[in-house]
Structure 1
Amino acid sequence: MACAIEPTPTCPNHLHASGHGSGGPSSFPPLEVSPSDYHFILLLRPRPASTRLTTRPERGRDLEDPNPSPLPHATRCLHPQSGRHTTAASIAITGRPVGWARQQGCENYWASMQKTSKSEGKYYNSLPPVSKAYGTLCFFTTVLVQLQILDPGLLYLSYPHVFKSFQIWRLFTSFFFLGKFSINFGIRLLMIARYGVQLEKGSFEKRTADFLWMMIFGAISLLVLSAIPYLETYLLGIPMVSMLLYVWSREYPNSQISMYGLVQLRSFYLPWAMLGLDVIFGSPILPGLLGIMVGHLYYFFTVLYPLASGKNYLKTPMWVHKIVARFRLGVQANSPVRPANTGPTAFRGRGYRLNQ
């Protein structure tokens, strides 16, 4: 019988299939299980008295074992859908039959697992559409690169490849690669999940088209800046995240941020603090600086300049409103375009009044 959990001090790796240990005081006596219990392997918590519960195949009921041993407690349950065995959380046995404990433990385990998966799915579905789509694309792009399914050499921005070899996809894929799995990748992805989501749910609430236009404006601006000599940047995902962080810091300038639990600072200074960390850890400073420049450009033309002059030269174009309405991406208050009706159209037509 194999050990139901990974080898630990309470579940050593010298437990053989026969159920006997390698000898000595830590060896395990055989644990007998009836043939009807082949879906489960139950390892019981040691009872306070010098007895423990086992199941004899000839009786199929709980008996007292006069030779107890310090067995770990875990339960392997058969998944109700996939049919696979999974180690469940440990359960305490207090005067209950083994079958009851096994059934109760598995039911509680699968109920908790389903609750956890439902809560995670509910959280993901509650995310605003633009931030969710961008973060998901960034995550799966890195996964494909890490699994060597996707070549990172095909993702970076290279204008000679774009114009000479017509590799147009580089204009888009350069925004979705945040690097391979690392601490920096995790930090950038968390920035999208926290600051991008908070920005879209807060300042851009019911303004999905405006938030999408901010992302599009930032992407176009970064592509233009990357074409300037001495400003070439081949992966534009980090500048895009930096732009989101800067706009968030301007919208919520007085929030208190704890950096690694060591330093407390106002959120207004967070983009510059992240820029300083890039310098300290030897990362390039240019991508983060470009993101701050583009973020300030957007914030100036959409917030600061309209407040001073009353004119907004960076309004969300009509075609962006049409995209949001066509694909029903979130909500846009006071949108000039009505959402497209995607219902059945087989029996739709013009009505006529019948003559009396």
Structure 2
Amino acid sequence: MPRRITSTWPRRRFLAAAAVSVAMPQVSQAQTAVWRFQSAWSSRDIFHEFAVDYGRRVEEMTGGRIKLDVAAAGSVVPAFQMLDAVHAGILDGAHGTCDFWISKHKAASLFSSPPSFGWDAHGLLGWFYAGGGETLYRELLNDILKLNVTGLLYFPMPAQPLGWFRKEIKGETLKGVNFRIDGLAAELFRGLGASVTVLPSGEIVTIMDRGQLDGAALNNPSSDLQLGLPDVARTYLLGSHHRPAGAFEVVFNKGKFDAQPAEVKSILRHAALAASTGQLAMAYARYPKDLDEIRKRGVDVRRTGDALLAAELAAWDKVIAEHSRDSFFAKVIASQKAWVRRLQPYIAANNLTTAELAAAYKHFLG
């Protein structure tokens, strides 16, 4: 008969040790560190809520070890100076988009509002994490610009509306329209005849109310409503090629980030990935409701005309050609095109078309 092997470790001691191991948190225990963190958004903007939500996730996932003290735009530095402040250690981190540092390199905008290649924000984030985009992003920040920062993209932004206008827009140009926009889209709108003004979102309503702006693009109905755009413009055009794919950027001072233990660095990354899902749910809950409220206020909400949409694509051709004379810009464009060529045929073959989805909606809900 086989010999029965009996553990020499008493059962009571085993159960006690097991209870202790279950109770112990998975993150190393240490005193709370408070990081100076600024968003690019007004405190009234839903995007600032998203920045605060990211900070909450980090604090919860680290068991209180890291607390992001999230301030609104302009609290420490102007929004367009956040990257320099993070580089210098004035800020430990920031929440915005890559468009805010396009003045350093035009390719920055390709990571937050790239050309309309037929993809959406899910495709953009797929390219960043699985198609070589993150490697190119780090090459730009650390090798080309020599910045002491590290970061990542998150949150698949729903396509941006064309924007708000004080007067009706007809035809295929925006000639004579003084328009607020940022990133590469600013050059796109210049190609459509607009006179472009670049300024932070929190200043739009004041400048528009003075009559110094004819139109503005922000991002979504909730941001637009919270900032008061229905009070200063009465036409809202939905649908545009200027920013069909977009994402937030979270950046950290690289020295501060690299000094953290592996589990904290992992949490800072994975908190953003988790926030992509959680914040998209928040957006889907709020955006339709706030668009209904905009309509209730008597705003003329309509789809952008086909002629103007086609003109946007032609304008993109010129913007891409102009900046592809820079080798790195051209390399990013080539990488994005290769990703979309591989991705979109599958999506087109497998997904239902807009018309088919509309038919299903009509069948069950219409």
- Shared fold by TM > 0.5? no
TM range (shorter): under 0.3
**TM-score for the superposition, normalised by structure 1:** 0.24
Higher helix share: 2
Q: Which has the larger radius of gyration?
A: 1
**Highest relative contact order (Cα 8 Å, sep 6+), 1 or 2?**
2
From the two aligned structures, give the one with the greater strand fraction.
Answer: 2
TM-score by length of 2: 0.24
